[in-house]
Amino acid sequence: MINDFYRQNIILENEIVKLVPFEEVYKEQLKDIIYDEEIYYTIECKNEQELDKYVSVTTNQREVGGSYPFIIIDKRTNEVAGSTRFGNIQFANKRVEIGWTWYGKAFRGSGLNKACKFELLKFAFEKMEFRRVQFSADSRNTRSQKAIKKLGATQEGIFRSNYIDSSGESQDDIYFSIIHSEWDTIKRDVFKEFI
């Protein structure tokens, strides 16, 4: 039985970003930003056929209770900027992973990621009342690692051969976390502009 969490229509927003449930209706807007070799995927997305697969797999994740994916909208331009999700959700252990995040090239370094992560962290800690939020980044993806550290997350370690990439190769992930007892301080110090 799928947890009722996945049936919710979760919308998170502040003055910079709006997160809405990932749905197929956004495919055309994703097409404008997703064909980018700098984006790390576990599936290839370099043409329309691969985009169809990505959209299908992503929407199916929510339907089967595997993750809760979002479309990221930049409220300053009203454009689809990328995607992110809650995954590896452990309700009994009050733990969730925020990840699978990517942005179109024009939206990187714009402050959108910080605004997005604030809304996700606030929801995880204050609405879901979870005790741990974790993040992971491919060991080669230094841009993502830096972005996660800027959120106030603690680097915990390397998970060797943690996933198989789109070319069939095993890759290492670096894991980070923020725990509930740290959230108030991190919210005040790192995300003060959103409070």
Q: What residue numbers bound the domain in which 59 lies?
A: 6-194
pLDDT, position 35: 86
| Structural domain contains residue 48 | yes
Question: Tokens 């090239």 — which residue?
Answer: 105
What are the DSSP calls for the chain, one per residue? ---GGGGS---EE-SSEEEEE--GGGHHHHHTT---TTS--SS--SSHHHHHHHHHHHHHHHHTTSEEEEEEEETTTTEEEEEEEEEEEETTTTEEEEEEEEE-GGGTTSSHHHHHHHHHHHIIIIIS--SEEEEEEETT-HHHHHHHHHTTPEEEEEEEEEEE-TTS-EEEEEEEEEEHHHHHHHHHHHSGGG-
Q: What is the pTM of this model?
A: 0.94
Tell me, what's the pLDDT at 42? 56
In a domain, 147, yes or no: yes
Judge whether 22 and 58 are in contact, CB under 8 Å.
Answer: yes
Q: What is the Cα gyration radius of the chain?
A: 16
Domain count within the chain = 1
Contacts 24+ apart (CB under 8 A), 8-11: 10/68, 10/70, 10/123
Residue 1 maps to a domain: no
pLDDT value, residue 68 = 98
Nearest-5° Cα angle at 148, 153 to 183 = 35
Residue 39: per-residue pLDDT: 74
Residues of the chain with pLDDT under 70: 1-2, 40-44
Domain assignment present for residue 170? The answer is: yes
In a domain, 108, yes or no: yes
The string of pLDDT tens digits covering residues 126-144 is: 999 999 999 999 999 898 8
User: Domain with 31 in it: what CATH number?
Assistant: 3.40.630.30
